[in-house]
Amino acid sequence: MRTTQKRMPNKAIFFDRDGVINRDYGYVGKIENFEFLPEVQETLGRLKALGYKLILITNQSGIARGRYTEADFWQVTNYMQQQLAPYQASFDAVYFCPHHPEAQVLEYRRQCSCRKPQPGLFLQALAEHELQAEHCLAVGDQPRDLIAASRAGITRLYLNSSTDNPELKDLYHQLLPKLSLLPELLQAVA
C-alpha cells in the first residue's frame, strides 16, 4: 500500500535589513558600519529551525546616490551571511533595489518597481521560492516595508518598533518591539 506524502508548503519570513537586522546608521555600505542588533543571529536561527525560509529585501539607494557600489553591497552581504552561518541563520535569499528616481549615478536613476513600497522584489521572491503569500509574513521598521509586503498579498505584517506609525493605519499589522519575540509569537499561533 502506498501512502501519499503531503508536502508541506514552503513558508517564509521577509525581512527588511537596516534597522531590523543591523543598526541603521544610514547608508550602510561598508563592513565597518554593519553592526547586528541585539539577539538577531539567535532569533533568525530559531525562526529557521521552525521551518521558515528567511528572505531579505532591502532598498539600497546608497548605490544610486553613489555612496557605495553594488560590489560594496555584496561585500557587506557576504560578511552578514558569514556571521549568521554559525547560528544556522543565514538568509536563503537576498534581494535589493539599487535605484532611486533622483539618482546621481545615471544607470540607477529610474522609477522602478522594486523599490519599497513597490512590491516588485516581494513578487519576484514569492515566485522564485514557490511561496504563497498566505504562508508568509513580513517584518520591517518602516511603513514602506509593510506596504510593499501588503501589496504583494502578505497579510501578516510586523512593525519592528515600539511605536506605531500613522501611515500604517489602513493595514492590519502588529507591533513587534523586539525581534526576539517573534519565534514565540509564531509558535503560539501555529
Minimum CB distance to Zn ion, residue 91 (Å): 19
Is 16 considered catalytic here? yes
Element (H, E) at 95: strand 93-97
Distance CA 154, CA 32 (A): 34
CB of 59 to Mg ion, least distance (A): 8
Site for Mg ion contains 16 (CB under 5 A): yes
Indicate whether 173 belongs to the interface with Zn ion (CB under 5 A): no
Of residues 105 and 112, the one with the C-beta less far from Zn ion: 112
Window contacting Mg ion (CB under 5 A); options: 44-52, 64-72, 77-85, 137-145: 137-145
- Exposed, middle or buried, 177 (CB in 10 Å: 0-12/13-18/19+)? exposed
Which of 12, 14, 15, 19 touches Mg ion by CB under 5 A? 19
Active site annotation includes 92: no
CA-based angle 21:75:129, to the nearest 5?
60
111 vs 163, which CB is nearer to Zn ion? 111
**Long-range contacts made by residues 88-92, C-beta under 8 angstroms, separation at least 24?**
88/45, 88/48, 88/49, 89/41, 89/42, 89/43, 89/44, 89/45, 89/47, 89/48, 89/54, 90/54, 91/15, 91/44, 91/54, 91/55, 91/56, 92/12, 92/53, 92/54, 92/55, 92/129
Which residue is closest to Mg ion by CB?
Answer: 19
Return the number of the residue (114 or 138) whose C-beta is nearest Zn ion: 114
Residues 94-113: x where in contact with Zn ion by CB under 5 A, - otherwise, as a string: ---x-x------------x-
What grid cell was written down for 142?
518602516
Q: Which does 90 bind (CB under 5 to 8 A by kind): Mg ion, Zn ion, none?
A: none
Residues in contact with Zn ion by the rule CB under 5 A: 97, 99, 112, 114-115
Residues in contact with Mg ion by the rule CB under 5 A: 16, 18-19, 141-142
